Chain A
Amino acid sequence: MLINFILNHNPVSVDAPADITLLALLRDHFKLTGTKEACEVGECGACSVLLDGELANSCLVAAPSVMGRDVVTIEGIHAEDGGPNDLQRNFIEKGAVQCGFCIPGMVIAGEALLAIKSEPSRLEIREALAGNLCRCTGYMQIVDAIETTAKGRAEKPHPEKREN
């Protein structure tokens, strides 16, 4: 079937089977491999995307259901020049990245939180990450990175937007 939606800020139209997940659509049809598969049962968050601005596990979303909606994957998150945005830079600075497999999902979860809460507490950050598993980092430096980004965005008159 033909699925039309907004993917990383651009309208797209794709002919795909109706019985696949958004995760498979992204990885197999758009070759956007930044969105990872690690459980396919909605438990790990490696497949996180923003669906109409909200955090979603793409392995639990039927591909046809994104018709007319807005999907942002890790490939759609960056600064204006295409380099890392402030959140991504803070992940690097704080040492929040180890094997990196969970990291696209963590960045997406961080953006989803910062979109609705400008100055979350560390506990609120942890709550927001509770659906995203990381086996490498113990989460400390990931929480640091999101916390620092929140402070940075609150201080700046024109915070770096994620969607650019």
Chain B
Amino acid sequence: MTTLDERLGAVRASGRRALVPYLMAGARPDWTRLLEAAVAGGADALEVGLPFSDPMMDGPVIQEAALAALAAGTTLDSVCAELGALDLGVPLVAMTYCNVVYHYGLERAAGRLREAGVLGTILPDLALEELDEWAAVCDAGDLATVLMVAPSTPPERVARVAARSRGFVYAAARMAVTGAAVGLGDGAAVVERIRAASPVPAYVGIGIASPEQARAAAAVADGAIVGSALVRRVLDGASPEQVESFVRGLREAIDAP
């Protein structure tokens, strides 16, 4: 079994800037088809949202997707069952909120996710101060804990966050929840602070919505995360082909010389 560190380290070693699309599990019945489409379009890794009723770090688009997924009966178990049956060929990172894994039981949740092929998790409401318990479980189970650095994170804290982050560090481009505004924002400065503190790859997210923005993000960082812009298309009924072509547009912009 490989780890997220190894997989994303290899992406960087190949000289490639990573593209990480975000999709909400269960937002549509064909959601796993959309994961495959994103991979076909050129994703290096996928962020998979596990829906929570009260997503504090998410704006209206991902909230809507979460509510749709919950209404369809999506659970950690149902997501893992479907993911386990896939062979996507790229690493998966689950994004959800503390209560979902706490309620399931930390060890049980980590084991179930890893079994389904998930290599890392992002819990945006779990900052450094509360991290120990979950990190210990994840470290023991080869599940990466991806942490965020925000524009408000002071430099000495950036070093501590980066030291605990596995796979990559999520560089938040702005002081905002997902999908609220677009553009690279403070992304470049945040990445610079992470790089000064740690060799872990830094991926920029929160506000990366278009090929141009993905290109700008990848120019300053090791990767770009695209969430709400993609989820909006999914909620509006985009076909798997349209998802693939949107992701390919991002890919081409990132890779263009």
Q: Do A and B come from one complex?
A: no
Q: Which residues of B contact A (CB under 8 A)?
A: none
Interface residues of A (CB under 8 A from B): none
